[in-house]
């Protein structure tokens, strides 16, 4: 119930939320006082209803939330089909004459659950390997870790695919990979994400977003101005870092962690327009290489700037406990940047991708970093209107 309040406060101020409900007992487990637990899907109905109420009063954007369940939770199959089952109910209501439009008061979709949330299943490498091998997958009780059910891993994946074909949910998140790239492993696991999955960090954390308009870096000759892009990333990261101490946070826990880790969310917008101006197909290897290079330069420069701030003011509070894993992840980024193909990428931009990460790692080894994270690639749906 505290979660409903926290989400309500975040929605009120235009933020999105993400919650992994896998710590809730399944409907197949008992309560200490007798009877059975209602399970996470039951609580999801309440959370969804509250989000819908707050959404109806919104002006610029609606309430946005992500709900996640781990693939070994006993209620995973109920979770997988929860939204597709509601979709089928909406179809029946449309056939009966109810309005089939979205966000229509009293319409078909206004009358069914789970229309205010994205659903995602957290899978592990072990689960995916079991699916490849056509092996078994066991779900385990939250309270006792005892096996509750045994499925074929492919059966769960098939149910996910069928449900997604019907209504677009559930999505999938790769837990093993996400936590491999977690820079602050000593502080905890990454259990969830925001609704669009670009922000992944520790529980009870938040980041303030800022986006660079890529088309503003194209000069009169149609060339991309790499030095200006790097300078803009550095200045914006510095501004965001200053804002951490001046921002308001919806709960004491989020406020505390925002000051302990100081995560930021620098990103870019208008990638599609930039690729079109360069004559690169959006869905092409050359387009992806260009996007990878742009992202590498931005993120590498942001971490290098964060290290410069740390040199002057010290790293974020929890950095020392996480120094080993943090530098390992920065090195992973550096190695990944070195593998970006050159096809479709201007030579100076491709070179800057390597240089930015080399600088970020070198300065970080000496001074640490002021921020636990620096970039996210948000969809920029709202600011696109500007």
Q: Looking at the annotation, which residues are catalytic? A: 194, 196, 198
Backbone angles phi, psi at 67, to 5 degrees: -120, 130
Distance CA 275, CA 287 (A): 7
Which token pair is 330? 């920065």
21 DSSP 8-state letter: -
Distance CA 306, CA 348 (A): 23
Residue that is written with structure tokens 């209620």 in the block: 75
**Which residues lie below 8 Å from residue 151, measured CB to CB, with a gap of 6+?**
77, 136, 137, 138, 139
Q: In a 10 Å sphere around its CB, with 0-12 CB exposed, 13-18 middle and 19+ buried, how is residue 118 labelled?
A: buried
Residue that is written with structure tokens 């969310």 in the block: 265
Please give the full DSSP string across 305-336, using - where no structure is assigned: HHHHHHHHH---TTHHHHHHHHHHHHHHHHHH
SS3 56: helix
Distance CA 268, CA 209 (A): 10
């Amino acid at each position: 119930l505290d979660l409903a309040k926290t989400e309500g406060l975040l929605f009120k101020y235009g933020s999105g939320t993400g919650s992994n409900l896998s710590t809730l007992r399944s409907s197949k487990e008992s309560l200490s006082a007798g009877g059975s637990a209602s399970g996470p899907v039951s609580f999801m109905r309440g959370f969804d209803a509250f989000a819908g109420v707050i959404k109806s009063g919104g002006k610029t954007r609606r309430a946005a939330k992500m709900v996640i369940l781990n693939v070994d939770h006993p209620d995973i199959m109920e979770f997988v089909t929860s939204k597709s089952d509601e979709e089928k109910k909406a179809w029946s209501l449309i056939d009966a004459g109810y309005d089939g439009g979205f966000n229509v008061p009293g319409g078909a979709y206004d009358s069914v659950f789970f229309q205010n949330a994205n659903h995602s299943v957290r899978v592990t490498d072990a689960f995916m390997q079991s699916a490849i091998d056509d092996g078994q997958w066991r779900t385990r009780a939250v309270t006792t870790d005892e096996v509750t059910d045994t499925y074929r891993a492919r059966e769960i994946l098939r149910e996910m695919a069928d449900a997604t074909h019907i209504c677009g949910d559930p999505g999938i998140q790769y837990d093993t990979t996400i936590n491999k790239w977690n820079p602050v492993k000593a502080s905890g696991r990454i259990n969830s994400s925001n609704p669009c999955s670009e922000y992944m960090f520790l529980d009870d954390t938040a980041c303030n977003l800022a986006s660079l308009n890529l088309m503003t870096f194209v000069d009169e000759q149609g060339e991309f101005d790499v030095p200006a892009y790097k300078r803009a990333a550095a200045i914006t990261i510095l501004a965001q870092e200053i804002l951490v101490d001046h921002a308001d946070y919806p709960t004491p826990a989020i406020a505390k962690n925002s000051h302990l880790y100081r995560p930021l969310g620098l990103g870019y917008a208008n990638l599609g327009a930039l690729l079109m101006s360069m004559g690169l197909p959006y869905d092409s290897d050359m387009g992806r290489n260009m996007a990878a290079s742009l992202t590498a330069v931005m993120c590498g420069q942001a971490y290098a700037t964060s290290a410069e701030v740390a040199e002057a003011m010290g790293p974020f509070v929890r950095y020392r406990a996480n120094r080993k894993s943090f530098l390992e992840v920065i090195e992973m980024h550096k190695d990944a940047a070195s593998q970006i193909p050159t096809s479709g990428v201007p030579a100076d931009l491709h070179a800057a991708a390597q240089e930015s990460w080399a600088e970020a790692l070198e300065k970080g080894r000496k001074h640490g970093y002021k921020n636990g994270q620096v970039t996210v690639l948000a969809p920029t749906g709202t600011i696109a209107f500007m």
